[in-house]
Chain A
Amino acid sequence: MTTPGTRTTAPDTAAAEKAPADDGPETPVSVEQPERREVPERPVPVMECVDLNVFYGGFHAVHDVNLSFGRYEITALIGPSGCGKSTVLRCLNRMNDLIPAARVEGQVTYHDVNIYDPKVDAIEVRRRIGMVFQKPNPFPKSIYDNIAYGPRVIDMDVDDMDSHVEQALHDAALWDEVKDKLKDSAYGLSGGQQQRLCIARTIATRPDVILMDEPCSALDPIATARIEDLMMDLRESYTIIVVTHNMQQAARVSDRTAFFTARPDETTGNRTGLLVEFDHTRRMFSNPGDRRTEDYISGRFG
């Protein structure tokens, strides 16, 4: 096991410790993982939120969020419950479309295209921006079919589905555990394995960005550590945006952190989420620029 806490503060040692913890040579991404590279001062944005406001009916859920998500970085969205971080995440691949009363104002750009432009097809957006959910939600199918489902429904050009499935399971560090029972139901897996299966399912469609909505909140610490290791591996090829309630997790895995808080409306008492601070994770946790951030990460509220 790595000691994940050291990663953000001392990236070089973390990377050195990381190597022996790998399951084996079959996960090429992790073997080649270099030392944790320096993240640029300003993100090289894959996605950006520009003055993003979200309403559920008359309820103002998120107020004026401006964020950039850098390529090959892990961005963590943290904050107390009801601060709108999950709402923001679900806007990024238009999952909020599924809620009839939800309304989005402002822009969410993906490679400078506003994904809320009326001409943009939400299905195409989701094919590029995958999502992993809080509760592991494998389909009631075999492990193999869980992975193959995505490539099949999006008509992906796959030469050999068997090796494609194998590769996805390798990339999600699950292959060794399931290689002998690919035809078994995914429900036979443990919670942590199910969540890695859901990650494998997502990367099988080769998205550009992976959104994770509290991916470890239903898992025990050991399963959580494995998912975190996996996230570090995936960071080499994907842009990851993760919502987490766990500040240690944000500190361990993320390159940048956005801290949200909720502000009660003076008349209605409805809590509107807003972005307080967005910075390098290391700086945010060692030297927060806003007192509310400091209070939150030091455990004084939230």
Chain B
Amino acid sequence: MAATTTLDSRSATGLRHGRSHEKGLASMLFLGALWLSLFFGIVVLVTLIVSTAIDGAGRFDSELITNYDSTLNPETAGVRASLFGTLWLMLTTALMAVPIGIAAAVYLEEFADNQRWYNRLIEVNLQNLAAVPSVIYGMLAVAIAALFGTATTNIVLVGAVALGLLILPVVIISTREAVRAVPQEIREGSLALGATAIQTTWRQVLPSAVPGISTGTILALSRAVGEAAPLLLLGVGTILFTPNGFLSGFTAMPVQIYGWTSESQEDYKVAAAAAIIVLMVMVLALNGLAIFIRNHFQRRW
């Protein structure tokens, strides 16, 4: 048969004279360029971390965590106020942004008719909002505070409003992706049993989307933790107490670091470097939590 002859003539000879050029010069150059890009990114990051760690080496002591900031003794100044301030801020931000973000995403994904112009408008603007500079959200929080007639904007609640608005688009977008990843068959299976759309969302879609939602939310939060600009706009400065409520004044790690690096004394620079490492550990811990949740609760379909 003709087919057999063709097969025979090709046989195994071609194997030894490959013409794919996978090992050719151009391929190797391309591969090299890829490696170089990766190398560059990592080297910059490692250099930054190592040099910061060396700068702050003198201040990795317990006083850094337990002491408040001090103008008299810069060599023992600590981040206690800003550490607790950041924790308060994160918690309040999450409490405000996560329920609203998830609800908005579920509406857009499960209930909204995306043929309607207003839903499409919301969709386009969500993408844009995620790209708005963080300072703008600080201004927005000031404006909201003014609406409620308060001039004191350097309190936990207003700070959380600013950061909450900042991460809301990211929370919505990542929740939508997690919700969209739940197979349509699961929804159909639930609806075909006579479940309502709300029951299906609550009992099938959301539980299945939890890993994606929490991962996206935590990553958004870890971005927000490092934000100084919107908080500076709210007038957050140095304080010497830990917050005790949503209306309490506060300071945050990035603000503290920013303040210290603007000082001229060398002791503050060292403290700032050490504080950067503390902040980085916090962010890494959050990212670690996100990875843990993703790996531990990930579902397969």
Contact = CB atoms under 8 A, between A and B. Distances in A.
Interface of A: 93, 95, 98, 100, 123-124, 126-127, 130-131, 133, 135, 137-140, 149-150, 153-154, 187, 198, 201-202, 205
A126 B203 contact: no
Interface of B: 113, 115, 183, 185-196, 199, 203-204, 207-208, 299-301
Contacts of B190: 139, 149, 153
A150 B194 contact: yes
B110 to A, nearest CB: 11
A101 B289 CA distance: 42
19 contacts: A95-B192, A126-B191, A126-B192, A126-B193, A126-B194, A130-B193, A137-B188, A137-B189, A139-B189, A139-B190, A139-B204, A140-B207, A140-B208, A149-B203, A150-B193, A153-B196, A187-B300, A201-B189, A205-B194
Nearest to B197: A123
Contacts, number: 69
Nearest to B183: A137
Contacts of B115: 100
B193 A201 contact: yes
Nearest to B114: A100
B188 to A, nearest CB: 6
Contacts of A131: 188, 192
B203 A130 contact: no
B238 to A, nearest CB: 50
A133 B199 contact: no
A201 B189 CA distance: 9
B300 A95 contact: no
Contacts of B113: 100
Given A95-B191, A149-B195, 5 more contacts: A123-B196, A126-B191, A131-B188, A137-B186, A140-B207
Contacts of B299: 140
A198 B189 contact: yes
A154 B194 contact: yes
Contacts of B195: 123, 149-150, 153-154
A126 B190 CA distance: 10
Contacts of A139: 186, 189-190, 204
Nearest to A201: B193
Contact of A135 (B185, B194, B204, B300): B185
Contacts of A205: 193-194
A238 to B, nearest CB: 15
A137 B200 CA distance: 14
Nearest to B193: A150
Contacts of A127: 193-194
B204 to A, nearest CB: 6
Contact of B188 (A95, A154, A187): A95
A202 B192 contact: yes
B193 A149 contact: yes
A149 B115 CA distance: 32
User: Can you list the 9 inter-chain pairs with the closest CB atoms, starting with the nearest?
Assistant: A127-B194, A137-B185, A131-B192, A150-B193, A153-B195, A137-B189, A126-B194, A154-B194, A153-B199
A123 B195 CA distance: 7
Contacts of A95: 188, 191-192
A140 B301 CA distance: 8
A127 B193 CA distance: 6
B193 A154 contact: yes
B188 A140 contact: no
A55 to B, nearest CB: 16
